[in-house]
């Protein structure tokens, strides 16, 4: 069963990896500007963050299996719509379908994986992240191969839609069916109780800390990834093919870091590692932006990918630990907090349109700085969380 969850995460990040490496091609074929790219990276996420909290709460009080399978159907549809996109509006609609679908299909799968071993949240989140990193790493490579053989980005997204259908069939066969007699529709009283529990959790200091730190960490993760290929084309001067190689190097070193982190977290506290890696990223990222040699810049990009490994896994694992027995609500709170975070790519796009992409990229330095300021001084214990 856990393998199905990890495969779902792999596919989700494979789509993400292909999308990130496709931006130079999408921009050319669909005639996009920086602001439109920022809008495509932000608006669907904001919409998803408005819908997904209800999906997460329903995942705690209703048929989680049905929600996962329903999300998988729309996930496959979103990949197909992306392949069929002919202009910016069509692409935006495809992404607006994809984000809430991913919330149901992927985020609830993560919540189910966390429920399987409540005492090993950090460790299982690292395994989850490794599966995702494998997908992100494979995405640019597969896209590069698809372009070389004439398959193109449209053919790649069409193939991803087919893979999603195959995985959906597997999930339908192997995900356990709920025990007892679940109601055909959720009861309002249960949904309202779940919403009240989520609002109450937002008043707890530990929960707020992890939610805020997750948004800061994303600056050096998904936000950086979203602009990395275009940065190497527009600022560094790479071709689209070489930019895809740069993305593959960044994701490849991230994959290596996630793999090494699996045994490391059995020996060291996650937050101790996270603090050291944040210091390293705070030094490396300015070096990445100012080093003039493109190949040296490529090497530093690989180190950035290596040392941001584990950021999401450790922070998200601590968030699950701070809310025992409420894994679906964790997803809901992530989405509520993500409403602001999802606007960041739009802000980067606006700054790039106004001042140039090279200048706008400096804003991402707030990511490691936020972690250095906000991380607790010692590793919280489960008793600390439950006592709040």
pLDDT 10s digits, 192-205: 666 777 777 777 88
Output the pLDDT for position 274.
93
Please classify residue 240 by burial: count the beta carbons closer than 10 Å to its beta carbon, then call 0-12 exposed, 13-18 middle and 19+ buried.
Answer: buried
Alpha-carbon distance of 369 to 367, in angstroms, equals 5
* Weakly modelled stretches of the chain, pLDDT under 70: 1, 178-194, 378-388
Helix (H) or strand (E) run with residue 18 in it: helix 2-30
Longest dimension (CA), the chain: 64
Q: What is the pTM of this model?
A: 0.73
Token readout for 125 is 């989140």
Output the pLDDT for position 181.
47
Output the pLDDT for position 383.
41
Output the pLDDT for position 278.
96
210 Cβ neighbours under 8 A, 6+ residues apart = 315, 316, 318, 319, 322
Output the pLDDT for position 185.
58
Domain boundaries, the chain: 2-174+187-386
Output the pLDDT for position 356.
92
Q: How many CA atoms lie within 13 A of 343 on its CB side?
A: 5
Alpha-carbon distance of 313 to 7, in angstroms, equals 17
**What are the backbone dihedrals phi and psi of residue 308, each rounded to the nearest 5 degrees, phi first?**
-90, 5
What's the CATH code, domain 2-174+187-386? 1.20.1250.20
Token readout for 151 is 């398959």
pLDDT in tens, 102-130: 988 998 888 888 887 777 777 788 889 88
């Amino acid at each position: 069963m856990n393998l199905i969850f990890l495969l779902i995460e792999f596919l989700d990040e494979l789509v993400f990896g292909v999308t990130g490496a496709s931006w130079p091609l999408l921009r050319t074929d669909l005639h996009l500007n920086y602001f439109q790219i920022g809008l495509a990276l932000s608006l669907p996420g904001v919409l998803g963050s408005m819908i997904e909290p209800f999906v997460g709460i329903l995942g705690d009080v209703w048929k989680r299996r049905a929600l996962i399978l329903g999300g998988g159907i729309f996930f496959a549809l979103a990949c197909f719509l992306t392949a069929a996109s002919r202009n910016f509006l069509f692409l935006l609609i495809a992404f607006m379908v994809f984000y809430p679908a991913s919330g149901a299909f992927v985020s609830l799968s993560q919540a189910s994986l966390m429920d399987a071993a409540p005492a090993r949240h950090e460790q299982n989140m690292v395994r989850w992240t490794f599966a995702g990193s494998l997908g992100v790493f494979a995405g640019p490579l597969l896209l590069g191969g698809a372009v070389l053989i004439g398959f193109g980005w449209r053919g790649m997204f069409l193939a991803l839609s087919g893979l999603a259908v195959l995985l959906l069939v597997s999930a339908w066969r192997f995900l356990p069916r709920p025990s007892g007699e679940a109601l055909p529709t959720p009861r309002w009283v249960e949904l309202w109780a779940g919403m009240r529990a989520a609002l109450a959790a937002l008043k707890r200091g530990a929960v707020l800390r992890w939610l805020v730190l997750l948004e800061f960490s994303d600056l050096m993760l998904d936000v950086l990834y979203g602009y990395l290929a275009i940065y190497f084309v527009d600022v560094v001067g790479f071709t689209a093919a070489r930019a895809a190689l740069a993305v593959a190097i960044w994701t490849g070193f991230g994959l290596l870091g996630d793999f090494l982190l699996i045994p490391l977290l059995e020996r060291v506290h996650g937050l101790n590692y996270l603090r050291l890696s944040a210091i390293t990223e705070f030094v490396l990222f300015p070096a990445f932006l100012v080093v003039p040699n493109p190949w040296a810049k490529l090497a530093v990009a690989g180190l950035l990918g290596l040392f941001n490994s584990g950021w999401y896994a450790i922070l998200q694992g601590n968030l699950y630990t701070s809310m025992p027995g409420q894994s679906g609500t964790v997803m809901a709170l992530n989405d509520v907090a993500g409403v602001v975070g999802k606007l960041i790519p739009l802000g980067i796009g606006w700054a790039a349109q106004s001042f140039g992409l090279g200048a706008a990229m400096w804003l991402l330095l707030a990511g490691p700085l936020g972690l250095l300021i906000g991380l607790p001084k010692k590793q919280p214990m489960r008793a600390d969380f439950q006592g709040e």
